[in-house]
Amino acid sequence: MATKKPPLSKDQIVSMYMNYTLEHNEKPKSVFHFAKVNDFTEAEFYTFFGTLESIEKEIFNIFFDKTIALLQKDVNYESYDMKTKLLSFYFTFFELITANRSYVVMTLKQHQNQLKNLMLLTEFRNKFKDYISEIITDDFRIKIEKLQQYQEKVLTESFWIQFLLTLKFWMEDASPSFEKTDIYIEKSVKVSFELIDITPLESLIDFGKFIFKEKINNK
């Protein structure tokens, strides 16, 4: 009697997709081909995903969800102020994607048109902006003169742009253990909060010197 194959899980499909992409240096040509190579049916695939691209988007969602889960395991996390929570998010998130750097860099550079690459982050972007809204504290709102809804949207969008710049820096970082990305995170987050707090000059100059030095060294 043939042994019944265990049901396929969503995580297994994601893992297979990442492995295929890295091993073949390209993403699968079709759902049919991807399923055949990995010995499962198209029907099983469509139980979890509608397209191959939706897997790519889901992978970044998984990175986000795992980051939040890890943060919430820290018993002190809820007592952190907004700045510390954001720093914790950055360091945890970039540690996760560094463990999957080859896939992340390859995926986010697959199209010459950078806008097409960023489309993979559309769902992640919504999650990130919601996260920023959630960690805004009352005292932080007071600091920026009783933030209104429109201003909050501007704020979350500003932090999203900061995240994209950090991601780009990480992708280009060739330092050991990506230590320069850690420096970038600390300085950029500090500048962001001090700009809002209207006390930016010293940190802005410090951050500017760091970026200028990196640009000179990379020429």
At position 18, the amino acid (one-letter code) is: M
| Residue 36 located in a structural domain | yes
> Please, which pLDDT band fits residue 200 given cuts at 50, 70 and 90?
very low
Residue 24: domain span: 10-48
**In this structure, is residue 1 part of a structural domain?**
no
pTM of the model: 0.82
Q: What is the pLDDT of residue 147?
A: 47
- The reported pLDDT for the residue numbered 6 is 76
Over residues 185-197, the pLDDT tens digits come to 999 998 888 776 6
Higher pLDDT, 152 or 20: 20
Query: Does pLDDT of 208 surpass 70?
Result: no
For the chain, what is the domain count?
2
Residues 6+ apart with CB under 8 A from 191: 200, 203, 204, 207
**pLDDT tens track for 20-51:** 999 999 999 999 999 999 999 999 999 999 99
Q: Flag whether 2 is in a domain.
A: no
pLDDT band at 212 (very low <50, low <70, confident <90, very high): low
184 and 128 assigned to the same domain: yes
Residue ranges in the chain assigned as alpha helix (H): 10-24, 31-37, 42-48, 52-72, 82-98, 101-108, 114-118, 122-135, 138-143, 149-172, 179-196, 201-217
Q: What is the pLDDT of residue 20?
A: 95
Q: Select the more confidently predicted residue: 13 or 146.
A: 13
Integer Cα distance of 35 and 13 in angstroms: 9
pLDDT above 70 for 205: no
Can you say whether the dihedral through the CA atoms of 86, 87, 89, 90 is positive or negative?
Answer: positive
* Residues 35 and 97 occupy one common structural domain: no
Q: Is residue 187 part of a domain?
A: yes
**pLDDT tens-digit readout, 82-130:** 899 999 999 999 999 999 999 999 999 887 777 788 888 999 999 999 9
